[in-house]
Structure 1
Amino acid sequence: MARGEWGNQGRGWKLCSYKRTTIVICSINIVAALYVLHSLYTSLFIFSTHSNASSNYFAAIKYSKDHIRKMEESIRVRQEAEPVELIRLVKEIKKGFLSREESVSKLPRHVKQKMADEALQRLKGMENANVSEQRASLEIWRNEKLEETKQLIIRNSTTNLMLSTKEAKLLKRVLESDWNLLLEDIGIWIPAEVVNKEIDDKPENEEELEEEIIPGRPIPPECHAEAHTDYDGAAVRWGLTHHKESAADCCQACLDQAKRAKPGEMKCNIWVYCPSEDGCFSPDKYEHKHQECWLKQANNPRLNFKDKYTESYRNSHPDAPLIVPWMAGVVSA
């Protein structure tokens, strides 16, 4: 009897435990669902509030008449700055080019094949001909085909090309205005003619050593005059205060000094003259002017500069010209 009561109580306790567990799980699910719904509602509310606040903020902005005028002026300036005419021309050119390509592509295949065969036959045997001759031959053939096509249109009949009148009109248009596109389409390519032109690639600051005409009387042969030359040597007479009318006079002054020199004095055997009206360059601190005549002496005359100053020298002396402006000569001692 006691065992039966205990068994009934156990079964009741188990049923009660299952029911409680089910209720607890359902409660947890309900709470979780409510939490999710609350989160979604809160997010939507915050987004709606932010959107309304932003709309109200921008709606509250009021532009003054000056601001509106400046914005309208800015829009007008941008519109006026647009290259409307250029855009229109580009569109027309592009449209025309596409239209020309379309015309060539509409030609029947057998017509293109016929044109290609005739063009190649025309060029046969002209492998050694120049570009101009090849182009001239094709141009003659083009004119012949164009005349043939025109006659076809007038007669409104077919030719050896087996063309309809519509196709003949299309071929006429291609031969007149789209000739190069047709050649390219049928595989005929002739390189552009190369024209050799003499190009002066001399630098802008390059100067030529031209034969100069030295003013004054002719320079005697014994002066051994050398243009664009500067000799080194000890100064017998400073040119800063010694000017002569011509290079011949400067040389004569050197010869005369050598003749009149007293025993023990230096005898002039080098003369250096500035023939340029703009003066002559020298790396020293003095300004060397037109008609300076330097009388010098050296047992072994040595060149300072000849013809042109070197690039390295001009890099270190930016004021130096390209060509040596002095004129000089070594006379017999």
Structure 2
Amino acid sequence: MMARDWGKNSNVSQLRGKLGGCCGCSYRRTTLFVCSINIVVALYVLRTLYASIYLYSSQDSASNVVRYTPDQILVMEESARLRKAAEPLELPRLVKQLEKRLHREETVELPLPLKRKITDQILERLKGLNATASIGEQREAVEAWRKEKLREVDQLIVGNVTSTSTFLVEEAGLLKTAIGSNWAFLSEEIGLWIPMEVVNKEHDDKPDGEEEIEEEVLPGRPLPPECHAELHTDYDGIAVRWGLTHHKESAADCCQACLDQAKYAKPGEKKCNVWVYCPSETGCYSPDVYEHKNQECWLKYAEQPKLNFKDRYSEQYRNAHPNAPLVVPWASGVITR
């Protein structure tokens, strides 16, 4: 009897174990299934929200876009075509070619010993003139020297070296360009600035036997007498207006600036009575550390104005300053009141 009851109890325990295992497995699966559904629903909701926000922003941006009619679009296209057709295509091309050509010419840099040799030869040619030589005679002497040297360079290039040659064969190529097509740039660089003569060709009514009066002039409008302009002259003084940042179109404008500064100077302020102007297109030499450019206008004050340089730089000075040009490139004037 007891054995039979024990067997029944054992069967019941096995049945409960099976049922418990089955129920446990079904619970885990149900939990995983529900969680998966929740994740999918959450992702769908997030995607829907993102899509609605993107659609709203796109509609808002589209509402701010200006919409043109087909006629307006045609007018704009026609305007763009006309503007493009009106562009001066040939002129910029020619300007670029000219700039490249000028750049090639101006970048011919002579060695310093060769530049000094040219300067010394020109100086010797000018020293051979009379003290009363006119500007025209000086210009003719320099031009004669240049033509002689061009012929000499041509002989050097073809290999015809003579004992009278003043230049070396290896210098011929540079000299051909320097004193040929690049002569204007070189003459400005070494300070060889000979003013133009004023000759009245329209009214040739001077008496017979009377020489034509030669006059040195500066570019721009004529200077008033009170400016007392002096070419190739550099006066000293205390700067009341810094020329590096003060440029004028002409020497007359520079002198007028000096007159105006003195007229409207404040009490206790130094009044301009010396003006110094750079008329050279390639700039003006000065022994300081600055690069002095064309149209610089220095306004100065000096109780007793004195000269820094006049006419030509001395040979002794040029030996001590190899970069100094042949003549003083500045123009100055002392205003007396």
Report the TM-score when normalising by structure 1: 0.39
Report the TM-score when normalising by structure 2: 0.39
